[in-house]
Structure 1
Amino acid sequence: MASADESASDLELTVTSALSGLIDAYQQMPMPLNRYLGVILVPSAVFFVATLGIGLLLDLPLMIRGPIPLLGFLMFVSAVFYPKILLSQRKSELNNQFHLVVTHMTVLATTNIDRMEVFRQLSQQDQYGEMAAEIGRVVELVDTWNQSLDDACRRRAKQVPSDAVSDFFDRLGYTLGAGQALDDYLISEQSQIIQNYKTVYGGTLDNLEVMKDLYLSMILSMTFALVFAVVLPVLTGTNPTMTVSAVIVLYVFVQSGFYLAIRSMAPHDPLWYHPEDKHSPIEDKIRNATIAGTVLSTLLLVFSLAGMLGVSPVTLDDVVFFVDPLPLPFYAAIPTLPLLIPGIVVNAEEKKIKARDEEFPSFIRALGATEGAKQSTTSTVLESLRKKDFGPLTDNVDNLYKRLNMRIETTEAWRHFTAECRSSLIQKFSEMYLIGREMGGDPKLLGELISENMMEVQQLRQRRTQATTTLIGLLYGITAASTFAFFIGLQVVNILASMSLDLQSNTSNFDVGSLINTEVYNIPLIEFLLVIIIMFGAMLSALMVRTVDGGHKINTYVHFVALTWVGSITAAITKWLVTQFLAI
């Protein structure tokens, strides 16, 4: 009895905590509460009631009517919990940028500027997003409301959604109030700040592992539902096209939901840096490859559709003459092949960027140590450093030296360097070193600080790479397994249809249609719907991989093409195998 009371108490506490968190999320929305209720929440509730009525009144099978109220319920639930999702996204943005911002703050604090100027400088860094906005709120409290810096930090610590940032502001406020210097505090706290960042980063990767297990379970369940939707109408006589379409809609919602969940959970740690005002030959190469791949893919798609519709005298069957007849999934897969061109180009460039990231910590440490020892300019130090082997970074270091030696303005020379490297991490840490040196910071301390922090980020990226590898294996396996199940069911129905026709032609005293309802099937249309779901799954799976690994958007094409071909080949082989084993 006591355990039952404890369970009820725990449940009540959990519900109360969830409601409190939801109310807090509504209070922190950028949109006024009454406007959100009138514009978003009430219309979504009305839409849900309307879909519920449509689902109850329509004279259609439950499998078709069921997804209609589910759509309305999904929109209503999304509207109710959107403020909570918005707050969660804000928390995620703060956690993702926290480590870099604190490193940047430490670099600035070691220079000869006032501590309030440190906060003002950081609040102007748009690249830090929500974290820069949060520091801007601290500056506003000091400049506009005449609060002390320590009081402003403690005030924001109570309102910021991220636990790590809240704890940092709180401890920073009390430390500054006690009279400790900002640089002393930040340098002494580096190890703890790095550990907090690693904990948060690792937690997001652990959450992704849980999401992968849930995704596998849900997709397998939806696969069974789709197979049943294909096969059961043989016995029930319902319209299979409607049942398959309804399950496909639900399948799309499930996959889209998981993609959005993974997108919100994945750590925001982009690999690429895209400067708006600095041109790079890499951009020309990627743009030309993308244009070539897109044009060729479009031409192949038009050619494929023209052949299928009988408009063109030459079809894909004539081109791919060694496969006769050409399976329907190949009509969708073949036009995607040219998309490998930009995908391969971007993938090769990403490998170079990762190699530059690995070499940068040793470069910046050597640069800072040598500048500190020789008490000379960056240009003089680079004259000797450019002869050292920094792998793929060597040419970029040499170009940086040449620009500085030509008396190009130092800031512009460094920004050309980061634009050539195209690395997000190199851009951020180079900017820190540049600003730190311009403001009189110790080069040796700056080099060591930046090097250590970047190496920690690199270790976390290795864990992310491992998580991405397991996700890729999972997605490819799911694609092959689900396609295998889809086309087994379809081909069994196709064989039953041919068997029933043969039995009806040879049997005059028995109505085969009373047992096997194959006349309700439009096999080519259902196969077309299954090909669409394979393509959609390949697209979302490729986007999931790109979201987790933080790479270039165009790198999505490689996995999209590969997953499409895995599904198409699996479909063709499955149809052939079922025909060989079951055909009479």
Structure 2
Amino acid sequence: MAQGEAESDLDLTISETIQSLVESYRQMTIPLERYLFLILLPAVGFFIISTVVALLLEQPIAVRAPIPLLGFLVMASAIFYPKILLSQRKRELNNRFHLLITHMTVLATTKIDRMEVFRTLAEEDEYGELAMEMHRIVQLVDTWNLSLDDACRRRAKQVPSRAVSDFFDRLAYTLGAGQGLDDYLLTEQEQIIQHYSTVYKSSLDSLEVMKDLYLSMILSMTFALVFAVVLPVLTGTNPTMTVSAVIVMFVFVQTGFYLAIRSMAPYDPVWFHPVEYPSPIESKLNKSMVAGVGLSMLLVFITLGGMLGISPVTLNDLFFMLDGVPLPLYAAAPITPMLIPGIAFRQEEQRIKDRDSEFPNFIRALGATEGAKQSTTGAVLRTLRKKDFGALSPNIDNLYKRLNMRIEPTSAWRFFTADCRSYLIQTFSEMYLIGREMGGSPKQLGELISENMNQVLQLRQKRKQAATTLVGLLYGMTAASTFAFFIGLQVVNILADMSLNLSTGSRLDAASLINTSVYNIPLIEFLLIIIIMFGAMLSSLMIRTVDGGHNANTYMHFVVLSWIGAITGTFTKWLVSQFLSI
């Protein structure tokens, strides 16, 4: 009976998967026939061709196996691409939903016409797919003369996000019953934030599961690569081909996990990148980037020029304390200057996070004081700027100075958000500014924005913990896998250099037991260094994806991971040589 229930559940799951896939094909933006003939059928043909090629090749199974796997990956991607697009659309709707509701609540409390609320949000390109939904509702009302509640009810049946669909349904019922938009949105705030918190935490929980799976897969691939290096000593097969085949599988596995982590990570950017209002910190960050890239290019020239004999300075001159520069250092040394922009951006990002932690207190105090004194923002800041708001205090002082110089309030606030460089500060400051301009209650606006931002900051603390554990995991895995790679390589290298001074009359044929002549040790070491550098690059991208920081954070982790691999590989070769030479 239990087996029958399990089979029934499995059939139900498969049926639901097929139905969701068919539905995703229906909601594609391109015609179905065009997608079938231009994308799906060529992908199936590529899979068939790759399978035939793998069957016809006279190579070991380890070399042939990745070929049909590549074709299958292309075919599966083509089949599930519409579902992936639908999932991305759903993710875009959920990512900014809490910000949209907060913005909508701010606009609704100003007592403007409720259709103006939707029109204003439809013009906010920052909300992406949500802004498109607002635009569709406006079109249904203005062009097709539907009522607002009917338009919301219609869109609720077509959006892929359950949260957005439920919100539109409840909004349609409430508006049809005669309740005000502001009253409804104020009561919805807690539920929307709670839903966002649940989705955010579930994403972090999914990342924890992915980290465990990633650890298991990388350990398995590490053992496979070590076996690919060592076993040809006994079998006599071409080790370069087997190592290359395992490396290709390694690349596929790591790339797949990176894409999976990227799709699961919650959307919560830290940085704000102003265009019209440049920040003074921009010059410092640009200089650090130029310095890092320039010095890296110089070291690349020294490395390659030293090998080709066209550079007056070589790596041997830079590492004069060593008898010879190990091969792993040739890969790690040229990218080392990228630590300069990596550290500079990381320090600025920490200052942004410090400003974020102070902003809820500032906006709450600003709104409460403005409401109590019934005064302008500039007059309130005259006394408020003297209070200690930590890292945000200099920015508050600059905001007061600009307002006191009679700079237009909108421009003054835009300069304030540009100096802060924070995505959250920019978003919530814009809401407060628009709400005040439209006559909203400053006290209510301040409390609403402060409460919502505090919830986001609490979730960021959990994200920071997840990122910290991921950093430790990836750093440790890089050292462990490199250690295993180079143990196998150095054992083979020592066996290749050994001479078995066997007597000519012995029946034992050493060449039949140990096949070292098939090895090209420098080439295999080069391939191992490539996979270490590739792993360091993807690991740094994973860390940046999970912590939600600036792209330049990748540079620092990439350099550190590369040096961990280079030092571990060099030390492992020396250590194995010391033990086996005894």
Structure 1: how far apart are the matches of 2:56 and 2:81? 30
The answer for the alignment partner of 1:466 in structure 2 is 465
1:2-21 paired onto structure 2 within 5 Å: 2-21=1-20
Structure 1: how far apart are the matches of 2:283 and 2:316? 36
SS at match of 1:238: coil
The answer for the alignment partner of 2:326 in structure 1 is 327
1:393-408 paired onto structure 2 within 5 Å: 393-408=392-407
The answer for the alignment partner of 1:562 in structure 2 is 560
Q: Give unpaired runs (5+ residues) of structure 2.
A: none
Q: Is residue 2:499 matched to residue 1:490? A: no
The answer for the alignment partner of 1:84 in structure 2 is 83
Structure 1: how far apart are the matches of 2:154 and 2:45? 40
**Segment drifting more, 570-579 vs 415-424:** 570-579
1:69-108 paired onto structure 2 within 5 Å: 69-108=68-107
Q: Is the 8 A contact 1:504 1:512 kept in 2?
A: no
Counterpart amino acid of residue 247 in structure 1: V
Q: Give unpaired runs (5+ residues) of structure 1.
A: none
Structure 1: how far apart are the matches of 2:74 and 2:285? 39
Normalised to the residue count of structure 1, the TM-score between the two structures is: 0.98
Structure 2: how far apart are the matches of 1:564 and 1:461? 28
Q: Is the 8 A contact 1:108 1:436 kept in 2?
A: yes
Counterpart amino acid of residue 140 in structure 1: Q
Structure 2: how far apart are the matches of 1:263 and 1:507? 62
Structure 2: how far apart are the matches of 1:14 and 1:346? 46
Structure 2: how far apart are the matches of 1:175 and 1:320? 73
Q: Is the 8 A contact 2:301 2:311 kept in 1?
A: no
Q: Is residue 2:382 matched to residue 1:383? A: yes
In percent, how many aligned pairs have the same letter?
71
**Segment drifting more, 363-372 vs 324-333:** 324-333
1:148-297 paired onto structure 2 within 5 Å: 148-297=147-296
Which of these residues, 530, 533, 540, is aligned with residue 532 of structure 1? 530
RMSD: 1.3
Question: How far apart are 1:373 and its partner, in Å?
Answer: 0.4
Counterpart amino acid of residue 102 in structure 2: T
Question: How far apart are 1:448 and its partner, in Å?
Answer: 0.3
The answer for the alignment partner of 1:440 in structure 2 is 439
Q: Is the 8 A contact 1:361 1:454 kept in 2?
A: yes
Question: How far apart are 1:370 and its partner, in Å?
Answer: 0.6
Question: How far apart are 1:279 and its partner, in Å?
Answer: 1.1
Structure 2: how far apart are the matches of 1:70 and 1:541? 23
Question: How far apart are 1:526 and its partner, in Å?
Answer: 0.5
Once the two structures are superposed, residues 231-259 of structure 1 have per-residue CA deviations (whole angstroms, 9 ceiling, x without a partner) of 11111111111111111111111111111
Q: Is residue 2:78 matched to residue 1:67? A: no
SS at match of 2:500: helix
Normalised to the residue count of structure 2, the TM-score between the two structures is: 0.98
Structure 1: how far apart are the matches of 2:114 and 2:133? 16
Structure 2: how far apart are the matches of 1:50 and 1:302? 42
Counterpart amino acid of residue 47 in structure 2: F
Question: How far apart are 1:443 and its partner, in Å?
Answer: 0.4
SS at match of 1:47: helix
Structure 2: how far apart are the matches of 1:568 and 1:167? 53
Counterpart amino acid of residue 39 in structure 1: L
Q: Is residue 2:96 matched to residue 1:129? A: no
Question: How far apart are 1:308 and its partner, in Å?
Answer: 3.1
Once the two structures are superposed, residues 403-428 of structure 1 have per-residue CA deviations (whole angstroms, 9 ceiling, x without a partner) of 11111111111111101100000000
Q: Is the 8 A contact 2:110 2:438 kept in 1?
A: yes
Q: Is residue 2:577 matched to residue 1:579? A: yes
The answer for the alignment partner of 2:500 in structure 1 is 503
**Segment drifting more, 390-399 vs 437-446:** 390-399
Counterpart amino acid of residue 101 in structure 2: V
Q: Is the 8 A contact 1:153 1:173 kept in 2?
A: yes
Q: Is the 8 A contact 1:504 1:511 kept in 2?
A: no
Q: Is the 8 A contact 1:484 1:574 kept in 2?
A: yes
The answer for the alignment partner of 1:515 in structure 2 is 513
Structure 2: how far apart are the matches of 1:159 and 1:394? 46
Counterpart amino acid of residue 29 in structure 1: M
Question: How far apart are 1:311 and its partner, in Å?
Answer: 4.1
**Segment drifting more, 97-106 vs 80-89:** 80-89
Question: How far apart are 1:136 and its partner, in Å?
Answer: 1.6
SS at match of 2:6: helix
Once the two structures are superposed, residues 93-134 of structure 1 have per-residue CA deviations (whole angstroms, 9 ceiling, x without a partner) of 111101100000000000021111101111111111111112
Question: How far apart are 1:304 and its partner, in Å?
Answer: 1.2
Give the length in aligned residue pairs.
581
The answer for the alignment partner of 2:140 in structure 1 is 141
- Pick closer, same or farther for the CA change 1:356–1:506 going to 2, 3 Å: farther
Counterpart amino acid of residue 503 in structure 1: L
